[in-house]
Amino acid sequence: MSDDDHLDLARQIAKSYRGKGAPGFPSGPGPKKRTRPVRPARGKNEDPSTIGDLLGEVVKNQGWTEKLDDQRIFTDWARILGAEVAQHAEIEGFEDAIVHVRASSTAWATQLKLLAPRIVAKLNDALGDGTVTRIEVRGPQAPSWKNGPRSIRGARGPRDTYG
């Protein structure tokens, strides 16, 4: 076979793969057409939703909205009262519409007791009317004399040493 014969044979094979069907060679399947699968149209309920929307539905269905609204007092405390007051007043608890606050010093405890009606009004404006009825302010916690290097078991603390 000569080079021309080999070249003609290659051309015939190429034509057969293109679907032209050269003499002596079966015609190939031809070029493949790509078809996309037909998808049914989505209904309005099947549209994608954000995670926030889904969590909102779960919260509503479980009946957690009131509890989460009550917990906003902890997260929004500094924003509602201001950074300076929030720095010296820490929320210890919130139940039965009473906020339990621990002050950083006795002076701040006195100030917070005097400002309590204003603080209650601010909290109710931000969180909803009637959310907070009262603020119970406690001063700083005194150090414990029960533990330490000079403590005695069964003793009453420093009172025993003063006279």
Of 62-66, 104-108, 109-113, 120-124, least confident by mean pLDDT is: 62-66
- At 77-100, the pLDDT tens digits run 899 889 998 999 999 998 888 999
Residues facing residue 95 across a β-bridge: 98
Asked if the structure places residue 65 within a domain, the reply is yes
Distances in Å between the Cα of 60 and the Cα atoms of 3, 53, 84 are: 81, 11, 35
- Give the total number of structural domains in the chain: 1
What pLDDT does 152 receive?
72
130 found inside a domain = yes
**Mean pLDDT in residue range 138-145:** 78
- 150 in a structural domain: no
Buried b (16+ CB within 10 A) or exposed e, 36-49: eeeeeeeeeeeeee
The CATH number of residue 101's host domain is 3.30.300
pLDDT band at 163 (very low <50, low <70, confident <90, very high): very low
Quick check: is 92 in a domain?
A: yes
Q: In the structure, what pLDDT confidence band is assigned to residue 22 with cuts at 50, 70 and 90? A: very low
Domain of residue 78 covers 58-138
Q: How far apart are CA 135 and CA 120, in angstroms?
A: 7
Instruction: Indicate whether 48 belongs to any domain.
Output: no
**pTM of the model as a whole:** 0.54
